[in-house]
Amino acid sequence: MKGQAAIEYMIVIGIALVLSLPFIINAQESMVELRSGTSNVAVQDSLNDLEMAVETVSASGEPARRTFPVNFPGSLNSTTLHDNAVVVVVNSPTGTNTYTRSFDVNVTGELPNSSGRYMMRTEATSEAVNIEVVE
């Protein structure tokens, strides 16, 4: 009798697991989307701060400087500076996301190419705004 009860108990547990599987999968997918969304927000916030710093020192003129923090997520793929734009590529579970910020002024210098929190500095020069990693 005990063996029969144990088998029935295991059948009930098995059915419960099978019925809950769609909810478990949905929860896992939601966690991946949340993680991806958090990375996107971090990149957008960092680019907003960079844009504000570039515009501020450009409007102020040489030798204006501004130092500010940026946070690039662990899914950072690459960062690139072009003549008047910044491009950040981030990996996501569904592929890659590319974020671009264009400026009215040329930008030079460097951006971090690995994830983490950095202190950045923008500095107005006569030809452009220089961007550099301070820490």
Nearest to 119 by CA among 70, 82, 81, 84: 70
Q: Which amino acid belongs to residue 83?
A: D
Dihedral of the alpha carbons of 60, 61, 63, 64, in degrees to the nearest 10? 30
Nearest to 78 by CA among 104, 96, 63, 57: 96
Does this model's pTM top 0.75? no
pLDDT at 6: 78
Does residue 59 have a pLDDT over 60? yes
What values do phi and psi take at 113, rounded to 5?
-110, 15
Per the listing, tokens 């295991």 go with 10
* Residue pair 97/76 in contact by the 8 Å Cβ criterion: no
For residues 28 and 32, give the distance between their C-alpha atoms in angstroms, rounded to a whole number. 6
96 Cβ neighbours under 8 A, 6+ residues apart: 77, 89, 90
Q: Residue 68: which pLDDT band, with cuts at 50, 70 and 90?
A: very high
Dump pLDDT digits (tens) for 92-118. 777 788 888 999 899 999 888 888 899
pLDDT at 20: 77
